[in-house]
Amino acid sequence: MRILIFSDLHANRTALDAALDAAKGRWDRVLCLGDIVGYGPDPNEVTAKIRELQALTIRGNHDKAVCGLMPTHDFNPVARAAAEWTRAELRPENLEFLRALPPGPIETDGLGAGGLAASPACGRKLRRAADRAFAEVSVESRFDRTAARRRSPRGIRGC
């Protein structure tokens, strides 16, 4: 069995379409390791495509945050703004799909998918590094440019 593996799609339909085109006819089953949504401008389109592909999928931290299943206080400002925007944009059926995803690990048909449970110390180090990296970034300007591309009359999509 040939398996196409996706991870961290973050609502980027352009990238998802490009990956599917590149792998066309070369896979039998799809495995998605989470973070279907977050950051990108196409949460409904990407979620619907993963549903259509009947991908074996686990819920990532961005999927979990968008569904309100975890707080976003540990997210950097860009990720937090993206989660709030995505929550408002998602159609109810897509929000319910994300909410119902298993957290991992899971196995079916001999395929397995699992999440990474980082230690609290590792998580703190990663958060501090992300906070430093995004300290000088305006959340509104970074995210609004992404959202603006989504609404572009020229049809420009993705990052």
| Model confidence pLDDT, tens digit, residues 45-70 | 999 999 999 999 999 999 999 999 99
At the topology level, CATH places domain 3-150 in Purple Acid Phosphatase; chain A, domain 2 (3.60.21)
pLDDT (mean) for 146-150: 44
**Residue 122, Ramachandran bin (φ over 0: left; ψ between -120 and 50: alpha; else beta):** alpha
Better pLDDT: 116 or 6: 6
- Residue 103 confidence (pLDDT): 83
Better pLDDT: 1 or 101: 101
Please say whether the beta carbons of 114 and 58 come within 8 A. Answer: yes
For CA atoms 63, 75, 6, 45, the dihedral sign is: positive
- Residue 49 confidence (pLDDT): 98
Q: Is the pLDDT of residue 2 over 70?
A: yes
- Residue 105 confidence (pLDDT): 65
Q: Is the pLDDT of residue 26 over 60?
A: yes
